[in-house]
Amino acid sequence: MQLQTQAGASPGGGLSGMAAKAHVRFKAFSVIRDVMGAEYVDVEVDQPGTVQDVMDALLARFGEDLREKLWDREENAMTPFLIRLNDEIIRSRFDMGRSIEDGGEVAFIFPIGGG
- Total number of residues shown for the chain: 115
What pLDDT is recorded for position 110? 82
Q: Please list, residue by residue across 70-83, b when 16 or more beta carbons sit within 10 angstroms of its beta carbon and e when fewer do.
A: beeeeeeebbeeeb
The three-state secondary structure class of 65 is helix
Structural domains of the chain, ranges and CATH numbers in brackets = 21-109 (3.10.20.30)
Give per-residue pLDDT as tens, 89-100. Answer: 999 889 999 999
Per-residue pLDDT, 114? 52
pLDDT at 34: 93
Which pLDDT score is estimated for 72? Answer: 86
- Contact of 26 with 106, CB cutoff 8 Å: yes
pLDDT of the residue at 105: 97
Q: Output the pLDDT for position 113.
A: 60
Ranges of the chain whose pLDDT falls below 70: 1-17, 113-115
d(CA 66, CA 68): 5
What pLDDT, in 10s, does the model give residues 34-49? 999 999 999 999 998 9
